[in-house]
Chains A and B, each alone.
Chain A
Amino acid sequence: MNNLILKVCTKVLFTPIILFGLYVQFHGDFGPGGGFQAGVIVAAAFILYAMVFGVDKCKIIMPTKLNFFLLVLGAFLYGFVGIVGLILGEPYLSYDLLGSTKQSGQHIGILLVEFGVGLTVCNVMICLFYSFANFKFGSNKND
């Protein structure tokens, strides 16, 4: 959409949206946020950018490979935090030993896990957008 207003305003909105996403990400345990929503918000910024400036330009900021790597990294982080507990002699997904106290351990654990989730969700969304962006609804009969 070659629209001046849209382009200029997207430029303005891009950065605050990402920041807001990160804000939601790291304030997850205080409000109704968390990695899931944060990921969606950050991804929304990228998707908006891609819609207005084109997928190719978006791929300069978020290359496909990096996107996939981050997607996997997020999931890996999620799993790995659990494994840390396992290696420290606790069952899987117990974060108690991550911090100095049980409370802080849980907190750090949840923060890390949420970050993994956010990373994954964000990149999944972007990945999905990349793959569907060029899907052209042709003159298909739809029923």
Chain B
Amino acid sequence: MRVSFRLWSVMRVAAGTARVEIEMPSGTPVRDALDILIDRYPELSRHRSSARVAVGTDYVDGDRLLVDGDEVSLIPPVQGG
């Protein structure tokens, strides 16, 4: 399946891109998908522990199994207000 990652703020800057598409096995858990992403973009690794993950418009945890077409956002600490 094809997973679309969206990178925001400091993570977008670190990776130098706002979107990354990666092929991976269907049903990959979020935490494994992040491993795959960080293999490709090691400059994201220092943000991993502080970032949350969303699929679509909702936060998810690392156990969540991804399906084809999921859009995964990496959410570094937010700063609205």
A binds B: no
B→A interface (CB under 8 Å):
none
